Amino acid sequence: MEEDEDTSRAIPKWVELEYSHMRTLAGPESEVHFTHLSKSSCDTLTSLFTQFAAGEAALGVAHPEGVLELMKARGVSLDKVCLLDPKAEKPLAPEDGDGRFEWFLFGGILGDDPPRDRTGELRGLGFPSRHLGPIQMTTDTALGVTKLVVRNKIPLDKIPYVDHPTIVFNAKESVEMPFRYVVKNGQPILPPGMHEHLYEDLNQSFDF
């Protein structure tokens, strides 16, 4: 996570929805660790993470420490961690799941439109890296795609995507999302509850 400017601010709803989705997408055989969180974000996420029954989703753990401190504490070496970086030279491949890497690292950062390359901060730490194609994905989509490639062995270019989809709420209201998503049944896969949240958010912006 990037530095929290206001440490008393609650984690925004959309972040909660994305983070919970990351745990579901990773599945019960994985662990998802959220690092470099303020004390209040850590507390919020820790109580949020009690929401899934055991066996339903990945274990979710919130940490105040940064990723390097966590790796040191767990004895994880840099070359076993794959940074998912849109600017990496190599694409992620199914073989990357066969022991080459033990952990996959995602930037817990806002997707700017246009992207501002904030993954560059993690790149600077020297992790080996892989890209998931040229278009920025939401962090939960990036995790889901990583899992499809390294666990389910589906090559990156065989996954069905939609770029910059328009989410339609009704005949008059819609919103365009500036990301690439995985498609299921013709629709982008959003975190459960995100559709409703986007609609509430849209209405609030007109609520003076």
- What angle separates helix 139-150 from helix 13-26, to the nearest 10 degrees? 10
Q: Which of 119, 148, 156, 177 binds ligand SAM (CB under 6 A)?
A: 119
- Give the largest CA-CA distance in the chain: 54
* DSSP code of residue 78: G
Q: Which of 94, 133, 178, 193 binds ligand SAM (CB under 6 A)?
A: 133
Tell me the CB-side half-sphere exposure of residue 95, using CA atoms within 13 A. Answer: 2
Strand partners, 61: 33
Residue 109 engages ligand SAM in binding (rule: CB under 6 A) = yes
Give the total residue count for the chain: 208
Please, which residue, 89 or 207, has the CB nearer to ligand SAM? Answer: 89
State the binding string over 69-108 for ligand SAM (x if CB under 6 A, else -).
---------------xxx-------------------xx-
Please, which residue, 107 or 165, has the CB nearer to ligand SAM? Answer: 107
Site for ligand SAM in 136-165 (CB under 6 A): 136-139, 142
Q: Which of 118, 123, 195, 197 binds ligand SAM (CB under 6 A)?
A: 118
In the complex, minimum distance from the CB of residue 45 to ligand SAM, in angstroms, rounded to a whole number: 17
Smallest CA-to-CA distance from 58 within 49, 45, 46, 71 is with 49
Site for ligand SAM in 5-64 (CB under 6 A): none
Residue type at 195?
A: H
Q: What burial class does residue 85 get, using C-beta atoms within 10 Å of its C-beta: 0-12 exposed, 13-18 middle, 19+ buried?
A: buried
Give the footprint of ligand SAM on this chain (CB under 6 A): 84-86, 106-107, 109, 111-112, 115-119, 131-133, 135-139, 142
